[in-house]
Amino acid sequence: MTASEARSFFSKPQSYVPMLLPEYFNFEPVLDYAKSELTKHQLSSMIDKDCLLTDEKVNHTVLLNKDARYDWRPVQIIHPFLYINLVNLLTEEQNWSEIISRFQVFQTDKHIECISLPVESVGENNDTAETILHWWEEMEQNSIVKSLMYKYCIRTDITNCYGSIYTHSIDWAIRGKAKAKDGRRNNKALGFRIDRAIEQIQCGQTNGIPQGGVLFNFIAEIVLGYSDMLLASRINKIGNLEDWHIIRYRDDYRVFSNSKETAEQVVKTLSDVLVDLNMHFNSKKTGITSEIIESAIKPDKIYWNSKIPVIMPIIFDGKRKNVQYQLTLQKHLLEILWLSKKYPNSGSITKALTAFARRLDGMDSINDQVLPLISIIADIVSHNPSAISSGIGVLSKLISKTQNDPVAVSQITDLIINKLQNTPNLNYLDVWLQRLTILSDKTKNFSEKLCVTVTNPDTSIWSSAFFSDKRICLPPIVDMDEVKSIKAEIATNVFDVFSDYD
């Protein structure tokens, strides 16, 4: 990417918002407004810095559960002015050239293969779908190929990676730790300026970077790429370690070797490198295997792929392929429920629900009893946060295809909300529950700020009190024309990242 292409890429709404939202949310106007204002003025001339450093409501945080219990991660939608300011800093022509040159240095050792630099779609796929396909090709398929060359693989990842990244280490990564420390007061150095910009975004905090959006994935790669370089340097100093290879996708590592001892030495050295950068391995996810092919494929995927031919075999009639469903709707959903119990919150659950939604799309009406189907879906959603958007999408289809009475629809949605209301950290779930009920009951109130903007478009999810220029007024993030025109049934392409690909 050129600097100009990178700026356009990072400034897209799809790159900016780190989660799937209903179709009436539109962040393009607010990003365009920030870009326009920051073309005319420097951010520093528009703000009260002391106010910014003490305002904890500048960014909007959505808590996303990992396990439907109490393990969660805070995902942030950064204030658009602070976000675009950081994008502009990274993508200035000279700065972008310096960053790209640094990545070329990070990637000089043939033993370490980073496959997680941000990917932009240039075809029919959206960027999320392209990223998934890239992971499949480079991580899964490449790991399978490595079984031809190596006997052992150690898999590991970093605990709370983004939350552990020390912002000063960004400066170390760009100009070297010694030089960065010696020249700490050089406020013209790119690494120093990025460090300060991120501190400014998070109230002066230096421990951790925001989780959310492609831009922060890229910034994390600067530090992780630096760790790759440090690892290669340390191993070269050990000597006699040639029989090893690493594939890294963000904070997920796969270390290959024909010797257990060599693989373990590489992992130990990597651990030492990461400790110096304030990062640590997840001991629960670290393990060695000689079954490289089996370990390359996620177990939930292996399990569900074995079920698909039974549930919906593909029949070729000589002209085209057709899916013939062998199970009733309820039995089909029960198979997805068993999948969710066996592999909770796995990617295959979302894939399975999306396929079920496609099945419903081919039906004009549903003759099955709908409440048992709704009960199964609600149970899946309540225990699998990653399935929220696809699960709510399926619920909308079941209700729309079976209920014409507004009172009955309202009663069913009340049952669903009551079932799900005890789910910890409801923020993201509320966004989709509002989408489910937006036509049947406009009086339902949801406390999540994103929901409030739908009922009151003048409300903002960000605090802009830090602007000394009081003329700044952020545009709404909700397209009210879209709200007025939506249907009760959520279209599958709203929650299916591969909809364009299909």
Q: Could you give the number of structural domains in the chain?
A: 1
| Max Cα–Cα distance, the chain, nearest Å | 75
CA–CA separation, 230 vs 236, rounded Å? 10
What is the reported pLDDT for 470?
Answer: 82
Answer yes or no: is 94 within a domain: no
What is the reported pLDDT for 403?
Answer: 85
What tokens were used for 325?
A: 């469903």
**Structure pTM?**
0.93
CA–CA separation, 50 vs 28, rounded Å? 29
Answer yes or no: is 419 within a domain: yes
Query: Which stretches of 208-328 are DSSP H helices?
Result: 214-238, 260-276, 292-296, 299-311
Output the tens digit of pLDDT for each of the chain's 502 residues: 899 999 999 999 999 998 999 999 999 999 999 999 999 999 999 999 999 999 999 999 998 876 656 677 899 999 999 999 999 999 999 999 999 999 999 999 999 999 988 766 555 555 565 666 666 677 888 999 999 999 999 999 999 999 999 999 999 999 998 888 876 667 789 999 999 999 999 999 999 999 988 999 999 999 999 999 999 999 999 888 889 999 999 999 999 999 999 999 999 999 999 999 999 998 888 999 999 999 999 999 999 999 998 888 777 665 667 788 889 999 999 999 999 999 999 999 999 999 999 999 999 889 889 999 999 999 999 999 999 999 999 999 999 999 888 899 999 999 999 999 887 777 999 999 999 999 988 788 898 999 999 999 899 999 999 999 888 999 999 999 999 999 999 999 999 976 443 3
Angle 313-316-318 from CA coordinates, rounded to 5°: 175
Strand partners, 72: 65
Query: Which residues 6+ apart lie within 8 Å of 179 measured at CB?
Result: none
What is the reported pLDDT for 424?
Answer: 74
How buried is residue 457: exposed, middle or buried, by Cβ count under 10 Å (0-12/13-18/19+)?
middle
Answer yes or no: is 407 within a domain: yes
Taking phi first (over 0 means left), then psi (-120 to 50 degrees means alpha), and beta for anything else, what does residue 213 get?
left
Query: Could you tell me the CA-to-CA distances from 135 to 117, 142, 230, 232 in Å, in that order?
Result: 11, 10, 24, 23
Answer yes or no: is 65 within a domain: no
Supply the range of the domain harboring residue 408: 320-439
Answer yes or no: is 377 within a domain: yes
CA–CA separation, 81 vs 36, rounded Å? 10
Residue 74, helix vs strand vs coil: strand
What is the reported pLDDT for 502?
Answer: 35
Any idea what DSSP says for residue 450?
Answer: H
Answer yes or no: is 412 within a domain: yes
Answer yes or no: is 338 within a domain: yes
Crossing angle (nearest 10°) for helices 190-201 and 93-106: 100
Answer yes or no: is 265 within a domain: no
